[in-house]
Structure 1
Amino acid sequence: MAGNAVVNAVLASLCLFSGASAWPFTTRQTLSIDAIQQQALANAQKVLAGTLSDGMTRPSSCNKDTVAVRKEYGDLTKDERTEYIRAVKCILSKPSKLPAGKYPGAKVRYDDFTVVHMNMTPSVHSTANFLHWHRYYIWAYETALRTECDYKGYQPYWNWGKYADLPSSPIFNGDQWSMGGNGEAIQHGRGVMNIPPGPGGGCVKTGPFAGMNITLGPLMPTMDPALRIPSNPSRDGYGNNPRCLRRDVSNYYTQTVLAPAELAAHITTSSSITTFQDTLQADTPQKAAIHGAGHFSIWGDPGGDVYVSPGEPTFWLHHGQVDRHWWMWQNYMEGELKTRTLAYEGGTNWMNPNSARGKPTDAQWLSVVAPSGQEGIPSNQLFSTVAGPFCYVYQ
């Protein structure tokens, strides 16, 4: 496939640094985020080749010749970005598959994904399910783009540490190949987390998603109340509430929490899955954690709402990177790859700190957005990107 040339080039470059199988760095903290990515990819290729085990059973159909390669959005060609945008707009135009009348704000197929996330939020945030359920969910969205809208590529991601100025990045610069521009510049105050207002705040009026209509939520509004974003007519957030897509894209977190050195340190100093996933998610009133910092760098409505955030089209790029960040942690240390792939810990309900502990055999649910025949997959089939229903790596 198209990505294999890139994968092979990376592997070749790694061989220049080491004639043996051992990674040349001996201290975790010396690794840069780029080195972590390279080693994770090299080890994933060894798993595909059968020379290294991650403890998972994989289908014979997933191998080095068939594996999909997910790329960073800015690394896609303009034609590839155009095709991805077309597919997203296609999902935005198809009818919902949810039961008629049950979710009045769900008008189109894209909304089905938002409703599923709203329903699942308490069990898939700050729980044992967070990382692998979202991996399953992003893959389901990618599958829908491919099977329902004839998309030929794979889900791109947003590399958090790549852009010194996020509003002018290929993702948000507002040109025809972007995911739409920032929100219109309007005067506004701080939202939650005490974040200074960014350069946007208003409706998205440039790029392919200019004028996009949002109908679900808000459920947990995080923008300045003075903006008078309309409340949902239903207390559960499922009512029909048409309004514009808003963003307030800023550099507040990309230069600190999401800087490359910070991301590398998070991976190399998190020795257990408990530490890794808790510090990835645990926002405090003083500081956002990595996961929240990505969402809050986009902000807006619905992007800043933990329940309704998939209504923001760049949600999928952000959570693609969340998955990549976990994938790097799982794969970059050859000697710990099996242990880290199988690692699983935490409760099952965000709202109940004493909830039952998650079990590797627990089924995960996607309702109407599950690909055909792929609903209710056990957690332990979702731990590896090259096992279970998956067959992809990150470039």
Structure 2
Amino acid sequence: MTPTERKSYTDAVLCLARKPPRLSTALYPGVRSRFDDFVATHINYTLHVHYSGLFLPWHRRFTWLWEQALREECSYTGYLPYWNWPLWAHDLKHSPLFDCSETSLSGDGEYNPGEQSLSGGGVTLPRGCGGGCVRCGPFKDFQVHLGPFSRDLTSFTDIPSPGFEYHPHCLNRSLNNFVSSNYDNETVVSRLLSSTDISDFQLVLDHWPARPDGVLGPHGGGHFSLGSTMQDLFASPQDPAFMLHHGMIDRLWAMWQSKDERHRRYALNGTATILNPPWGKPVALDTVMEFGVLDQPCQIKEVMDPMGHGLCYKYT
């Protein structure tokens, strides 16, 4: 994207953050904008659409709906960008996405000496370079309203506290080159695209916390390389980088699908419940996905082809 195109995109995101929500603030106290409608929807379906058979198709529709909102409600004339992880995996701070320029997504947060190393799933990752509020770029002092949530997935049977309560706080970033260079590099992307089947693709994409050795996949790598706002499984769409991260995931899935139309276009694996428990209902092409106030329910088969059922987009 040209600098002008990048600025047009961030202006549209900020526009959405100024527009009134469609969800009721009385029922969802933390929802204060149209931007928050997307965050609350993600929270509402998190326990179904992560580490499950719904992850890829649900997020494909979710990011498409985001682009439509930007275009229809904020006069955006471009398309959804994607974050090509390997290009700046060793130097996030100087990438065009996070260099704090007016055409970026802002950059690192202020240095917080109290930020802890990242632990979970049997692995400990070094802390990032920031850990505090973002104070530069288009999202300087950007206020988010929902979360934060615990990272302990094993105890979740329902949406945990703080639910949809209003909790204003700043956009937090802590750029972490260790995470990005180890889990979102070219070798990882090549391994993902060489996956033999959909279950292999899912395993490479989302190693952690599904594997006891704690290996982080590129999905988690993108989230954990940016700081606590992006690390929040429930409320991570509050970081403007979320949609670009998932644009890249959708791009790689689309590329992988197109390599073998017969066996991959409609390949599914997993259940409709987080971590695919034994009692979870397996997903199928006629499984219905819900998006709350964002859209009407649709079947998985309606999103398996980016050029079908009204989606009509492709990646370069």
Please point out which of 137, 141, 150 is paired with 1:220. 150
Tell me the SS of whatever aligns to 1:256: helix
Which residue of 2 is the match for residue 58 of structure 1? none
CA RMSD, 1 decimal = 1.5
Shift of 1:85: 0.8
Which residue of 2 is the match for residue 3 of structure 1? none
Change (3 A) 1:253 1:214: same
Which residue of 2 is the match for residue 299 of structure 1? 227
Matched, 1:170 2:68: no
Which consecutive unaligned segments of at least 5 residues does structure 2 have?
A: 153-159
Matched, 1:114 2:39: yes
Which residue of 1 is the match for residue 157 of structure 2? none
Shift of 1:177: 0.5
Cα distance in 1 for partners of 2:294, 2:150 equals: 23
The share of aligned pairs that are identical, in percent, is 35
| TM-score (ref. length: structure 2) | 0.91
Tell me the SS of whatever aligns to 1:254: helix
Paired amino acid for 1:119:
N
Change (3 A) 1:286 1:345: closer
User: Residues 148 and 162 of structure 2 are in contact (CA less than 8 Å); yes or no, is this contact kept in structure 1?
Assistant: no
Shift of 1:266: 2.1
Which residue of 2 is the match for residue 93 of structure 1? 18
Which residue of 2 is the match for residue 264 of structure 1? 190
Aligned residues: 300
Shift of 1:254: 2.3
Map Cα deviations across residues 40-60 of structure 1 (whole Å, 9 max, x no partner): xxxxxxxxxxxxxxxxxxxxx
Cα distance in 2 for partners of 1:353, 1:175 equals: 48
Which residue of 1 is the match for residue 238 of structure 2? 311
Change (3 A) 1:221 1:211: farther
User: Residues 126 and 278 of structure 1 are in contact (CA less than 8 Å); yes or no, is this contact kept in structure 2?
Assistant: no
Paired amino acid for 1:115:
A
Which residue of 2 is the match for residue 226 of structure 1? none
Tell me the SS of whatever aligns to 1:192: strand
Please point out which of 62, 67, 82 is paired with 1:157. 82
Cα distance in 2 for partners of 1:341, 1:173 equals: 37
Paired amino acid for 1:131:
L
Shift of 1:79: 0.6
Map Cα deviations across residues 123-169 of structure 1 (whole Å, 9 max, x no partner): 11111111011000000000000000010000001001111311111
Paired amino acid for 1:330:
Q
The answer to which of 142-151 and 360-369 deviates more is 360-369
Matched, 1:390 2:306: no
Shift of 1:221: 5.3
Larger radius of gyration: 1
